[in-house]
Each structure stands twice: as structure tokens, then as C-alpha cells.
A and B are shown apart, each in its own frame.
Chain A
Amino acid sequence: MTKKYSFFLLALFLTLKFSAQKSIEPTEEDIALAKELSKKFVEDDIVVLEYSEVINFDYNKKTDKVLVENKIKQEFINLKSRTQIPLIIGYDDQSQINNIYVKYRNGKPTNIRFRDEYYNQEDLFHSDARIKWSGLNFPLLGYKYTYGYKKKYKDIKYFINTYLDSYFPIVKKTITINIPDWLELEIKEMNMGKDLIEKQRTRIENKKITQYTYTIENIAASFKEENSVGPTHYRPHLLFLAKSHSKKDAKQALLNDTKDLYKWYHSLVLQLTNDNEQLQDKTLSIIENFDTDEEKIKAIYYWVQDNIRYIAFEDGIAGFKPEEAIEVYRKKYGDCKGMANLTKQMLIIAGFDARLSWIGTRRIAYDYSLPTIAVDNHMICTVFLNGKKYFLDATEKYNPFGNYAERIQKKQVLIEDKENYILDTIPSNTSKNNKETLVSNLKLEGEKLSGTIQRTYQGESKTDFLYNINSLKKDKKTEALAYYIGQGDKNLILDNVTISSITDRDQDLLLSYNILQNNAVSSFENELYIDIDYYKNYQQLDFEKRKTAFVLPYKTFESTSTTIEIPKGYVIKELPKNLSINNKDFEISFIYKSDSEKVTYEKKIDFKNAIISKTEINAWQEFHKKLKQQYQQQIILTKE
């Protein structure tokens, strides 16, 4: 009985699958279309033929929140013989995903199962970000699927933007936004290439809706490059600013301006109890041996840097509300908000005027002229002293007092001021502050170079060095330092490596050692060929395929000076030619000098703005070719 039953089930299943088979395979037209598209999108496997987003708004009386629903639909086509792609939909505590479907060409559902789990990011200890995900298999050229879902936001505050491009190139995309009359919503067009976009405004009187439709065609796939600026800097997107609603009797402000944004942030800060009694003794013990105000601030700032582990949390409202200082102190870990609050509370105990301050790092393109929660992603502490403001970011380990990390320099900062706020800008340093020098005095010993090297580090080059060396295992530091110097090259033999204090962030860092470098000189007949540049910095920085600006960790200024004694009986036959370039973002020079006794090689590399802007990508690429050739050049000595 059972057997028969299963057989019947199986037969039914097969029949269903069979009948579906033919009508889901690509048609001649689909194949031709895929071939045509693959000429245009050469490097892509999948193209979205049509991508639509329909955005609607509603109001929840109970919560007094404006709700958002974004209905998304995409039609994929495969441009390669066979392709598998992941389907990933992100959401969090403030949003939910409904009605996911994936359909075959003929409209029949695929019944693909989506899994649902936390989205674990390496640099985030815990967050409320979740994903629904699955995989999709395109077995043939021209294979098509339609895929869609609804994403609902419980509060319009969290509905920030929508990107026009996507992971795959799109043939045609439409975004329809139906704004009801009771809602005041501003749509900002960001990074738009105007020629590509068609915008339409339609009034739908019977529904009391104003409909905005954006249509864009042939959009290249979004690209993620290493060391790039954040996506809001370059990806085309619509930014939504929900100003107010009039669902209730009077007009109700949402985030109409920065004041509203601050009001909300401030309301979260007011929820803190700041019961700091237990912090008292500790704070006083930190500052007890210091006399001046500046020393005391510095002591507290360094104590938080050194003693609080940075662990990132982004969990619902906790993503915006700082943790109680006493909790951060108890746990000895916290996120930026927790660390900023602990710094603030300790400074208050020490008698200073310290305030929480919101800031968007350089990853974010927006500033506080835009009232949106997407404008900032970081929190620091501002202390007021003798009419001056000092900005303290305790997440920046080994950062000296008065120095600011590149990622916050020149960025607007929103400072607490009771019911009001103060808007200021973080001062900027020049690359000279981060100077890194390397001075070599070398002589030839057969085919080897030997001599002494002295290196110094200042500013962020020093902070970076200290952070890295201090996160290494104690017993491996010497080994790691040797690796840092020699880059794993066994031709370089080191001796007498000495380093100044690796905990003092207020002094320059000094590193010195002696080297014996094998295979550095090639001798042929009467001539010696010397490869004078050991590190050949930035030789690998090839921008052949680069599309976005290249971001350096900080404004880098590297100065290298190498002197080589000319051995007796030899004279210079040829020196490489000097090379230099100076533009908006970088100034680089290679200068060779000589007299009868020595050759001097001076190299300066200055990335003035910690970035190679998109406009300078070509300039770098041109220069890079010369740079590579320069590094190939040899100094030639010949017998007298």
C-alpha cells in the first residue's frame, strides 16, 4: 500500500517537472538577447533586464510612525554558459522582508528556499543585521528568472536611500515613489549622471499621491575596489529626507533639519543615568600625578585608549545610544559611543567641560546639511579648554593628544550643547606631520651592500607602527620587526636592530639597524650595477583597471636618503635620470647626485591628501609606468 502510494507521488512529481521543463528553457530570442548583451557587458555573467522598485508610505497610529514599503522586482538573464549566483537580502530590527519569490521564465515558482540568519561581519562583534539568502543556478545561456520581495521599514527614519546600480549591470531600472499628500519627503539625487536619467512627476489626484518615477538605462554593475571611498561618494543613488507628516491634526516634524536630528540623538543621551560614582576614584587616580589641565586630559584620553578594547556593536537602538560609562568601565570594552561616553564622564569628574560629538568619517559623503541618520557613523568626545576645542577619539589607539586621525579630519562634527548643538569641523594636518624618513649609509663589499639604516616615524605613520607592533605576541616582536624590515627577503641580513619606546605616543619613533644585503650588486666584466632602491614603494600600485579613487590610510610623506661610497678604483659610468611629478594629490621626486667619493639618492613621496582622486587616476597610471622604469634603473660604476 505504502509503496504504491509513493510511486504515485513520484510519478506526479516527475510529470509536473517534465511539463515545466520545456517552457523554462531559454527561447531562441532569449539566447540571441544574451549573446547581444554579452558584447556590451563583456565581463559580466548576469544582467538584470528589468529592475523595478515601487516605494509606498503608510502611517501606523499605534506607534505614530511613518511606514515604508519598497517592492522590488528583478528579471535576470544569464550571459555565460552556466552561472551560479547568490541572492542576498539584508534587513535588521527596523525592517522586515516579505513575499520573496523566484520564478522561471514561464512564471512558475521555483520554490527555492531562503535561509535566514545573522549577517556576521568580521569587524563587527555584534549587530542586528540579518540576511535572507539563497543560491540561484542558471544552467544555460539565456536562462531567465524573475525575483522579487517586499522590504518594509517600521519607521521612515531608517529608510535612507536606494542605489540605482546593483551588483549586476541593469538594462532598465525604474524607481517609483508614491508620496502621499500627508507626507513631506525630499528626494535628493546623488552622484547622478544626468544624461542617463529620465525623471517624471505625476499627480494622481484620486489617491492624493504625487508620483515620482526615475528611469535609467544601461547601468554598469556596481564595483567594489579595495582601498576605495565609501559608496555614497560615487554610486548613483536617491537619498530620502523625510521632513514631516500631517497625519495627526498638526504638522508633525520627522527629521526636518539638523535640529530634529540632534533632538533625537540628544533624547537618547538623556536616557543615560550617568551614575558615575564608581568612576570617581579611578578617574582621580589617573590624573593624580598631573598638574596642568592639558596633562590631565591627556592622561584620561590615553587611559581610555589603552584600557578599553574596541568592540563594535550595532544593535537596534543601541546602534545610536551610547552605553553607560560605568558599564564600559566595568567591561573594559565598548564601541565608539561607549568609549566616547566614558571619556566624557571621566573628564567631567576631572572638572572639564566634555561633550559627546557625532561625526561621519570620510567614508560617508554627506554632511550635516542633510538631516538623515546616515550622515554620521562615529562618535567622539569634545573637550572645551580655555576657549579651544579638543577632539578625543579613544578608538584610535596610540593617537597622541591634539592629533586627529585622517578619517575624521576636515569632517563636520555635531557637538552636544544641551537643547542646542554646536557644529564644528575637525582640523586637518598636512602630510609633513606624518613624516617617515629612512637614511642609509652604505658601502660595497663585493656583490653585497653593507651599512647603517636609520628610520623615524611621526604622526600617523608612528601611530600605525605602534598599533601594529603592540598587537603582536611579545615573543614574536623581534621576528616580526625583522620581517617588517626585510619583507621576508633572505638576501637581507640584519644586525643591531634597535627601536625607541614602543609605548610612548608623544615622541618620534626611531628605528635603526645595520644591514648586509646579498645580491644587491651585479658585477660584469669591469662594471658594477647597483640596485639602489630596496623597497621600491608603490611599484605594485597599478591602476590599470581602477575606477574609483584610491584611499591611503593617512597623508603619507616618505623621505628616503641613501648614500653609497664609491669603492676605490671605480668611477661612476652612469646614474639614473632624475624624475619628479607634482599634482593635486601627489608630489614625488627621485634625485641622484654624486661626487668622486659617493652617490646620493634622495626619494620623496608625498600623498598630500591621503587619496588619489578619481580625477588623478590617469595621472597616477601615467606616472606609475615611469616609476616602474625608474626602479629598474641601475647605478653603473666602472673601473678607472
Chain B
Amino acid sequence: MKTINKQLIKITFFIFFIQTITVYGQLPKISDLGEYIWGEKDTYTTLPAIPEKWKNESAVVILSDYDYYYFKGGKALNTFVITRKIIKLNDQAAVNLFSEFDELGQDKELVVKIIKPDGSVNIIDVDKEKVESSELESSYVTFGYRKNVYKSKLAIPDLEVGDIIDFCIYFKERKPIMGVLEAPSVIDVISGEYPIMNYELDVHSKKNFFISIKTENGAPEPQDVSPKKGKDRQYSFKMQDIEKIDPIMWEYTLLNAPYIKFQVSLEKEKKTKAFVGEEKSKIKDNVTKEEVLEYFKGITVFDHGYKGSDKYLKDKGLSQEERIEEAYYYMRQYYLNQFIEAAVAYKNDLTVDNPFQFYAFPKYITEELKFINYYASFLREEKIPFEMIAGIPRSQGKIDNLLFPDDITLFLKINLDPENPLFVSQFGNHTNFNYFPYYLEGNEAYSLEIGDGHRLETIKKVKIPISDYKLNNSDQEYEITFLDGFEKIKVSRKSKLKGHNKVNEISERLNSLNFTEEDHEKYNTKRLYDRLKKRRNKNKYEKEFPAFKEKTITLQKESYEESLEEELDFKIEDFSFEVIETGRYNIEDVLSYKEEFSATNDLLKRAGPNYLFEIGKFIGGQIAIEEGDKERKEDIYMSYPRSFNNTISLTIPDGYEVTGLDKLAVDITNETGGFTSNYSLDGNKLIIKTYKYYTHNYEPNSNWSKMLAFLEAAYQFSQQKILIKKL
């Protein structure tokens, strides 16, 4: 044993040594960073004048410069980044923001100089001025020791309003992961919270590396500035005069702001998770559909011989459509949910032994590709025609802009009835069959199909359908009663959610532990408890699991109460919550739950013997568009088409009547959506119904005024009061 250990140490030492040399051999030395940045080649020794138009900005970026370096270290690709910024600080807020730097250490080196308004230059002695701020335990064990990594922070001395700060951060020691042949993809959005006079980004690669680059929304094209001799390859991007951007609602930054994206890869091999160009000497700036096909051919296996659900589906007398749906839910249980108990037990130490050892060969699926491979194999065996759809989120741009495989989301389109295709995407604990994520809706995507064999053979461009706003619906019914002579308001609310509204909320509303029993029963899988053979595990688990469950349910209830307060924008008390229908087994089924609470009389205003009641608040907080935002210039990108029904039933106390109801009838609808409301009196009940909907997930800016019309109507409704008048 001892001999083996010694050998291991030697080998470790050897690798460590070699890597250190390779890595630092090619990089500017630490002590030279200042010289490297501010040396003879520095083109910013004389600084340009700040444009007059930006004199009222908090700060102006004179230079924003990024240098990405790529090296081969061992068999993997290493990345190092050097960033330099020169910033004119025009106010105290900017001084405060740039006056401190933290997390400095072995892997993050900093040099700073300050240029005073009179032109004098002060180079900060970072080593002298910094103070130790933290020590983190390194994740690396060297020679059996876990070394602490010390971090420092620095307060910049003599930094005042009107100064220019010129700093450079050198992110050094990003450890390469063995066997990874591509560097992480980079997306750099050029514009930021301050205007920029000069932007420069350089990619320092090697002539024998592959590189893909794409620029969007007016970002500059790459210039090849590689030295003629030697192995180095350098691409440069330069841009001037860039206005700042302020984030606004319903906008995707990558659709408007200029940005550069790139990725460097070492080799063109199957293992590379990148779209790699044909030639090392050429920039790859687009990904053809053929390449997408090739890429997925390499990583999909629709020949898994999947038999998992056969036994479960056997003799059930199901139609083909029912079979594939049931198979989805069975797989959700078999490959994911049956392990929930074990995952919970493992994380929270509810068993003596590792709970996963009680599953013969625990196979769980948490990766999209693995799910696609399994489910597609099943479809192929069932001889059901399907397509694999590869799309990118709308927030990331169009499929034609595709450059990185990481941006792709996969799902399957099942063409049992080509007129009414069905969809499946990777399962989660409560997901449904015939569903794919909202963020792909409306974008173009690639559809890939297999031929006679199990390999993908064809690819074509398709448009991903957009869901109907009526199907993405939340329906809420309120029952409101006044208690204790208007001291308190008792409220009961029933919510029913469908479509994306359901999917987006289901994980929050359901506690997985409440469904494990039901699922085990339904799919004939074994409970963790039944798998525990030894008394010690059984004993511990049967005691500690119920305690754990009780605790999570209590915490969950507290969080529901908080989120309801946030939603309604007023304080609530005596809260109770109950799930009525889970909607877990069919996309058409609703998720419904009931909440009961009382609100104090903050919503009631006394007016002599009468009361003003802010009934409009019960449709929830409405979007209030600020005056300035009414002049919006950008198109409107929303998550998905959606609709909201509200029914408010108010019991009018004896001896009172309600007036001011005419304001409760609103009808503003147009092609972008609408807000309508009406009321009726039924005995001692006032019943108000409202309906708000957004027809599309996108509106051109020309439709903004139409949207404003119904958004404003909904907001005004939320401000409405009725008079509860003493008879």
C-alpha cells in the first residue's frame, strides 16, 4: 500500500509541475502586469477628452478592454482573462463604486493608477495597501494537505470626484479540466450602465486552435491582427461612442444591445461540445443546419433498447396515444421521482447508510439529452413517427444566430396525428406530457428526423408554435366577508391554473414529499422505507423522515403566506393553504388550491357612517407604467400569451348597501389583449368578474399604445373603491 501511495504522489507532483511551467511560461509574469499594461505600447498614455454630451453622467468609460488568452495546458484548453478599464469618475456614487476591490488573491491580480485632474499620476502600491479579508479552503489537495487560499481587499487611496481610475485585473489561475477540449463560450454585451468611449476586445488564440465568432446588433466585426510569424492568432474588436443602457421591462438585452460571442476549441472531435469549423485558419461565424445534424448525430442514441415501461403498460388496453403518455409519466417516476426519498434522505442524513445503495442499479435522468435518448428510443420501438426539435430561447436570439450547442434546448414532436402533434420535453418532478418550455415559443428551430435506422438523418427549419392565451390561464375566485363590524376582512381564494401559468407555479405549490406515496402506488415502485432491510436504517428513517416532512411543510406554508402578501400588496393573517387538484398527471388538468386568510381593515376607509372599500386591490398588483416608459421605443417581448380571470364575491353586511358600481364595468380590448370587467348583485352578494389577457408573446413597438390602453384600464380598476353605505 505504502509504495503505491508514494508513486501516486510522484505522479501528482509531476503533473502539477509540468502544468505550472506550461501555463506561466506563456503568460506575462505577475510582476510585469503594470509594465505590460502601461508600458511603451500603451496607447492611452494621453487620454482623450470626454465628450460634452456625457458630462452629466455618473461616470464615463474611456476604455473598456478585454483580452482573452487561450493556451493548451496538458491535453486541455486553458483560459486567462485580462481586463483593463479607464473610467472618469464624475460623482461620489462612482467614486464609492470604484473605491474598493475585493477577492484579490493568487488568481486575481490587480494594478491600479489614478490620474488626477491636473494630469499627475499616482500608481497604487496594491501589495502595500491591501488587507487580508478572507481565507477559503482550497478545493485542491496537494500532498495530502488542503491549503487555504487567502483573499484580500483593497480600498483605493486618494480617489476623488473628477479623478480617472485606470485599472487592470488579471484573472489567472483557471484550472483546466482534463479532457475538455473547448473553452467556455463567451458572450460580451458591449454597452453597460455607463457610456463607453472606446471598447476593445481581443481574443488571443493559436493558429492551430479552432474558433467561432459572431457579432450582433451593430457590434464590430473581428479584425485579424495576428503576427505573420509564429503560432499566435489574434482577433480584435473595436468600437467607439457607445451609449449606456438602462434595463427595461419586457425586453431581451441580446435582441437589442450590441454583443460579441465566441468560443475557442482545441480539436474537431466528437467529444468537443462546440460547433467547430472546418479549418483552423478560418473563423466560424455561422452554424449550418448540416452541422447541427452532424453534431446531434454524434451525441444521440435512439437505440437504447428501452424496455422500462413495457411491464407497466402491458395489458392496460391503452390506445397508442395513451401508451406514449403513460410511458412518459412512468419514466418520470422510474427515472426521477422514485429517487426523491433517497435524495432527501441522503442530503438530510435520514438513514444510517447511503440510501442510494438500496436501489439495485439506480438509473436517474436529470439531463435533457439523456431523456431525449431514452424517450426517443421508446418511440422508435413503438414505431411512432417523431421529430427532435432543437431550438434556442427567444431571449438568446434567432436560430440563425446559433453558435454554441449550450444555447440549444431539445424536445420531441410526436406525429401520431400530424394535424395535432404531441410534444414532450425533459421531465421534472411535476411536469406533464404534451408540453415544451414557453421560452422557445414562436422562434424558428431545427427539426431533426431519423431515417430507417436509429440515426438522425434529416434536418429542416420549422417554426415552434405559440400557445393560446386562453390555455395559459389563471382563474381566481374570491369570497369576501366583513367580520367584527368591519374590523377584519375574511377572504377565501380558490385558484385554478392551466398551461404555462400552471407549469411555472407547480413546483412551488406542491411539496414533492406529499406525492411520493401516491406515485409509488400508481407506478408500482418501491418506497425507500420498504427497501431498507436493516433495522438501524428503518428505525432512523421512520422516525426522522416524518419530522423532516413536517418541517418542510411548515416552512412552505410560511413562504406561501409571504408570497401572497407580496402579490396582494397588503398584510394578511390567519393563513391556511390546501392543494385541491395537483394537475400532475395531465397537461389539461388544472392545479388548484385554496387559501384562506383575513386582512386587517387597511383596505377600508371610514367615511362618516359609511366605508370606502378598495375592492380593486383584489385583482392583485397591476403593472403601473411610469410616465417616462409610455414613450417606449423598443418592441415588447413577453414570456408567453396568457390570461387571468378573477371573480370577487363580496357579502354585503346587513344594514348596508353598495354604491359606485358603475366604475366597475370596463371593456378595453384590442388585438394585443384586453381588460374587461362587469358586476352583478345577487341577493346580499356583489359579484365582480374581471378578465385580463395578453394575446401574444411579442408586440411590435407600434402596438405599445394599444397595450397601454388595457394595462392602464386594469391599473385604474385596481385603484377602484366602492362605497358601503349605511341604510
Chain A residues within CB distance 8 Å of chain B = 1-2, 5, 14, 17-18, 21-22, 25, 80-83, 115, 117-118, 120, 125-126, 137, 139-141, 307, 309, 311, 315, 330-333, 470-476, 490-491, 493, 518-519, 522, 524-525, 529, 531, 573-574, 628-629, 632-634, 636
**Cβ of B209 to closest chain A Cβ, rounded Å:** 40
- Verify if B526 is at the interface (C-beta below 8 Å from A): no
- A-chain residues with CB within 8 Å of residue B612 when the two chains form the complex: 522, 529, 634
3 closest cross-chain pairs (CB), A and B: A331-B157, A473-B58, A81-B547
Known pairs A21-B536, A490-B715, A632-B606; A141 contacts B547 (CB<8 A): yes
**Once the chains bind, are B350 and A139 in contact (CB under 8 Å)?**
yes
Q: Are B94 and A473 in contact (CB under 8 A)?
A: yes
A82, B539: Cβ atoms closer than 8 Å: no
Q: Which of the residues A2, A126, A137, A472 comes within 8 Å of B93, measured between beta carbons?
A: A472
Nearest opposing residue in chain B for A542, CB measure? B571
On chain A, the residues within 8 Å of B349 by CB distance are 137, 139
Query: Is the pair A524, B159 in contact by a Cβ cutoff of 8 Å?
Result: no
* B547 with A140: CB separation less than 8 A: yes
* Alpha-carbon separation in the docked complex, A268 to B606 (Å): 65
Interface flag for B271 (CB, 8 Å):
no
10 A-B pairs within 8 Å (CB atoms) are namely A82-B548, A117-B134, A309-B155, A471-B92, A473-B58, A474-B57, A629-B606, A632-B604, A632-B605, A634-B605
- Asked if B58 contacts A21 (CB within 8 A), the reply is no
- Whether the Cβ atoms of A82 and B133 lie closer than 8 Å is no
- Say yes or no: is B626 at the interface (Cβ < 8 Å to chain A): yes
Q: Does B141 contact A (CB under 8 A)?
A: no
Given A18-B352, A332-B158, A524-B723, decide whether A636 and B608 contact each other with a Cβ distance below 8 A: yes
Question: B568 in the interface, Cβ–Cβ < 8 Å?
Answer: no
User: Which of chain B's residues have a CB closer than 8 A to the CB of A21?
Assistant: 352, 536, 539-540
Q: Is the CB of B543 within 8 A of A140?
A: yes
In the assembled complex, which residues on chain A have CB atoms less than 8 Å from the CB atom of B58?
473-476
**Chain A contacts of B129 at CB under 8 A?**
331
Contact A118 B157 (CB under 8 A): no
A524, B660: Cβ atoms closer than 8 Å: yes
Query: Smallest CB–CB gap between A5 and chain B, Å?
Result: 8
Residues of B contacting A2 with CB < 8 Å?
Answer: 1
Residues A18 and B607 in contact, CB atoms below 8 Å apart: no
* 13 new A-B contacts at CB < 8 Å, known A139-B544, A315-B131, A331-B158: A5-B1, A21-B352, A118-B134, A126-B153, A309-B95, A309-B99, A309-B155, A332-B157, A473-B93, A475-B58, A522-B660, A632-B601, A632-B606
B578 on interface, CB distance cutoff 8 Å: no
B547 touching A82, Cβ below 8 Å: yes
Could you say which residues of chain A place their CB within 8 Å of the CB of B182?
none
What per-residue 1/0 map shows which CB atoms of B651-667 lie under 8 Å from chain A? 00000000110000000
Contacts of A25 in B (CB 8 A): 543
Docked Cα-Cα span, A118 to B149, in Å, equals 13
Residues of A within 8 A of B136 (CB): 117
- Picked from A82, A475, A522, A573, the residue with its CB within 8 Å of the CB of B723 is A522
A574 to B, closest residue via Cβ: B608
Knowing A311-B155, A332-B159 touch, does A519 contact B719 (C-beta < 8 A)?
Answer: yes
Which residues of the other chain, B, contact A14 by a CB distance below 8 angstroms?
Answer: 352-353
Q: Which residue of A lies closest to B4 (CB)?
A: A2
Q: A475 vs B99: C-alpha distance in the bound complex, in angstroms?
A: 19
When distances are taken between beta carbons in the complex, the residues of chain A under 8 Å from B94 are 473
Give the complex CA separation of A17 and B349 in angstroms. 13
**B 698-727 binary contact with A (CB < 8 Å = 1; else 0):** 000000000000000001100101010100
Contact of B352 among A17, A80, A471 (CB under 8 A): A17
Give min CB distance, A313 to chain B, whole Å: 8
Distance between Cα atoms of A1 and B4 in the complex (Å): 12
Instruction: Name the residue in B95, B155, B625, B659 with the highest tally of chain A Cβ atoms < 10 Å from its Cβ.
Output: B155
A574 to B90, CA, bound (A): 54
> B135 near A: Cβ within 8 Å?
yes
Inter-chain contact B155/A331, CB cutoff 8 Å: yes
Per a CB cutoff under 8 Å, which of B96, B350, B608 touches A471?
A: B96
Q: A14-B352, A140-B547 are in contact. Are A470 and B606 (CB under 8 A)?
A: no
Query: Count of A-B contacts with CB under 8 A?
Result: 138
Q: Contact between B721 and A522 (Cβ–Cβ < 8 Å)?
A: yes
B721: chain A residues within 8 A (beta carbon): 522
Contact assessment for B550 and A82 in the assembled complex, using a CB-CB cutoff below 8 Å: yes
Shortest Cβ distance from A631 into B: residue = B605
Name the distance in Å between A151's Cβ and chain B's nearest Cβ.
21
Query: What's the Cα separation between A120 and B605 when bound, in Å?
Result: 47
Q: Do residues A633 and B606 form an inter-chain contact, with CB atoms below 8 A?
A: yes
Q: Does B452 count as interface, using CB distance less than 8 angstroms?
A: no
Which residues of B (91-110) have their CB < 8 Å from a CB of A? 91-96, 99-100
Which residues of chain B come closer than 8 Å to A519, judged between CB atoms? 716, 719
Residues of A within 8 A of B416 (CB): none
Residue of A nearest to B725 (CB): A524
B161 to chain A, nearest CB (A): 9
Q: In the complex, what distance in Å separates the CA atom of A80 from the CA atom of B131?
A: 43
Q: Which residues of chain A are within 8 angstroms of B606 by Cβ–Cβ distance?
A: 629, 632-634
Q: Shortest beta-carbon distance, B424 to chain A, in Å?
A: 37
Our pick among A309, A472, A529 for the contact of B607 (Cβ within 8 Å) is A529
Are A125 and B153 also in contact (CB < 8 A) when A472-B93, A522-B660 are?
A: yes
Contacts A82-B547, A332-B159, A474-B91 given; indicate if A118 touches B352 (C-beta within 8 A): no
Report yes or no: B100 in contact with A125, Cβ–Cβ below 8 A: yes
Task: List residues of B (38-97) whose CB comes within 8 Å of A's CBs.
Answer: 56-58, 90-96
CA distance A115 to B137 in the complex (A): 9
In Å, the complex CA distance between A573 and B607 comes to 10
Nearest B residue to A483 via CB reads: B626
| CA distance in complex: A225, B624 (Å) | 34
B97: nearest residue on chain A (CB-CB)? Answer: A473
Per the bound structure, the CA–CA distance linking A315 and B349 in Å amounts to 40
Residues of A contacting B601 with CB < 8 Å? 632
Give Cα distance in the complex from A476 to B193, angstroms.
Answer: 11
Nearest-CB distance from B257 to chain A (Å)? 18
A470 vs B58: C-alpha distance in the bound complex, in angstroms?
11
CB distance from B287 to the nearest CB of A (A): 40
**What 1/0 mask marks residues of chain B from 606 to 644 whose CB sits below 8 Å from any chain A CB?**
111000100000000000111100000000000000000
Tell me if B551 is interfacial: C-beta within 8 Å of chain A: yes
Contact yes or no, B544 A118, CB < 8 A: no
Give the complex CA separation of A519 and B1 in angstroms. Answer: 83
Expressed in whole angstroms, the minimum distance between the Cβ of B90 and any Cβ of chain A is 6
Q: Which residue of B lies closest to A491 (CB)?
A: B719
- Given the known interface contacts A18-B352, A81-B548, A139-B544, the answer about A471 and B93 at a Cβ–Cβ threshold of 8 Å is yes
Please pick, from B93, B160, B659, the residue contacting A524 in the complex, using a CB distance under 8 A.
Answer: B659
Nearest chain B CB to A91 CB, angstrom units: 15
Q: Mark B663-685, 1 if CB is under 8 A from A, else 0.
A: 00000000000000000000000
Interface centre among A14, A83, A529, by most chain B C-beta atoms within 10 angstroms, is A529
B453 touches A (CB below 8 Å): no
Q: Hey, which chain A residues are within 8 Å of B400, CB to CB?
A: none
The CA-CA distance from A388 to B93 in the complex, in Å, is 37
Complex Cα distance, B96 from A309, in Å, reads 9
- In the assembly, what is the distance between CA of A525 and CA of B540, in Å? 70
Docked Cα-Cα span, A83 to B555, in Å, equals: 11
**Is B305 interfacial (CB 8 A cutoff)?**
no
Interface positions of B from 572 to 629, Cβ below 8 Å from A? 601-602, 604-608, 612, 624-627
Q: Which of B56, B100, B551, B607 contacts A636 (CB 8 A)?
A: B607
The CA of A518 and the CA of B721, in the complex, are separated in Å by 13
Q: Which residue of B lies closest to A331 (CB)?
A: B157
B238 to chain A minimum Cβ distance, whole angstroms, is 26
Distance of A342 from chain B, by nearest CB (Å): 13
Which among B91, B95, B350, B601 has the highest number of chain A CB atoms within 10 Å? B91
Q: Is the CB of B352 within 8 A of A82?
A: no
Chain B residues within an 8 Å CB radius of A22: 539
Bound complex: CA of A106 vs CA of B608, how far in Å? 69
> Cβ of B35 < 8 Å from any Cβ of A?
no
Measured between beta carbons, the chain B residues less than 8 angstroms from A573 are 608
Which residue of chain A has the shortest Cβ distance to B95 in the bound complex?
A309
User: Which B residues lie within 8 Å of A628 (CB)?
Assistant: 602
